[in-house]
Each structure stands twice: as C-alpha cells, then as structure tokens.
Amino acid sequence: MIDKYSIVFQPNENLVELVRAMKLELAEEIGWYNSKNSLAHISIVEFKAQVDEISRIHKQITRCSERFKPVTIHFQSFGTYPNGALYLEVDTKSKEILKEYSLQLIEEFQIKLLEKSNDPHLSIARKLDEKKIEKALKLFSTPHITSEITNISLRKFNPIKKQYDIIHSYPLLNLGDNRDKQLELF
C-alpha cells in the first residue's frame, strides 16, 4: 500500500503551543479555515512511499539529522502567498540554513517528491480570501518570536483526521559531516 508522508522541521513545544493559540484566536475571528488544526511545522518535502521503503528513508533522515546542528530561528513578520496562505516569516540567516538542510535531505532521497518547500516558513492558515487575510493581519501584532529547531519529523498522512501524524522524530545532533567524502568528488 502506498501512503503519503511529509518531512518537516519540528519547532519546540513552546512555539507549537504559541502557534496553536494564534490559530484558535484566528478561528474565533474568521471561523474555520484550512490548516487550523495542523501542528506547527516548517515543511521540507511531501512524498508517497510504500511501507517497505520507510526503513530506508528512516536511515537517510537519520544520517542527515546526525550532522545537522540545531538552528535558532527568529520570526519578526507575517507573510502571505497569492494562494491565501498566511505564515510567520523565518529570518534570512535561519532561512538559508534551513534551505541548505532541506537540499541535503532531498539529495539523500532516491524517491519521487510530490512537493518540496523552497521558502521555509511556518504556516498559520491556508486558502484565506483577501478579507480574511486583512482581518488576520489586524488581529496579530508584529511577532518577535525566537525559537530553536532541534528535530526533524517524519509524518504520515491520516486520511480520517485529514492531518499528518508524527511517526518519528530525529534530533539534530551536530556530530559533524558524516557524508562519504569520496562521493562528493563526483
């Protein structure tokens, strides 16, 4: 059976709770919206895989997480996308580190990706119309949030909840570069 998975940077619990509170406050203001019940995360990739492929993917994520260093991120503004997404903007320095980590993860995989994120951000809501985006931006003051990313999570789509469930977390251990140097020459 083929299932849908995603790999994400998982914020610490304080940020998860802060974003959960923001989402609830927004729901009180504008009603239900896409991503309201989604746990805070920064997307890396989405893909489909068979269960027997997951052990290989687990090893690939582990290899990366062992060499990645935890990242302190700062959110100092909100952003929007034309598709109606409202998100917390990751600061430039952290964004570059997260992009590099994402690139290294993608290079490890030998699997077809459904979607990859080229712009690290933390979604608050999706598919909002202009009026709801305006209300949301008025509701929230300028953020001054600092948090640390210390884990990458592998998540599996739950068709009943229509949300992803975390099936494994990988701590960022900063053990040094474990890639085969010989392979880098080619």
Which pLDDT belongs to residue 81? Answer: 95
pLDDT category at 115 given cuts 50, 70, 90 is: confident
β-partners of residue 86 are 80, 125
The number of angstroms, rounded, from the C-alpha of 71 to the middle of its chain's C-alpha atoms is: 13
Which pLDDT belongs to residue 183? Answer: 52
Q: Given a cut of 80, is residue 12 above it in pLDDT? A: yes
Q: Hey, what domains does the chain have and what are their CATH numbers?
A: 2-184 (3.90.1140.10)
Query: pLDDT tens digit string along 139-180?
Result: 999 999 999 999 999 999 999 999 999 999 999 999 988 776
CA distance 185 to 182: 6
**What's the first-to-final CA gap in the chain, in angstroms?**
35
Which pLDDT belongs to residue 180? Answer: 65
Q: To 10 degrees, the CA torsion angle through 103, 104, 110, 111? A: -40
Whole-structure pTM over 0.85, yes or no? yes
Find the mean pLDDT for residues 112-123: 88
Query: pLDDT tens digit string along 39-96?
Result: 999 999 999 999 999 999 999 999 999 999 999 999 999 999 999 999 999 999 999 9
Sequence-distant (≥ 6) Cβ neighbours of residue 97 within 8 angstroms: 71
Q: Record the tokens describing residue 76, joined without a space.
A: 């100092």
Which pLDDT belongs to residue 182? Answer: 46
Which pLDDT belongs to residue 118? Answer: 87
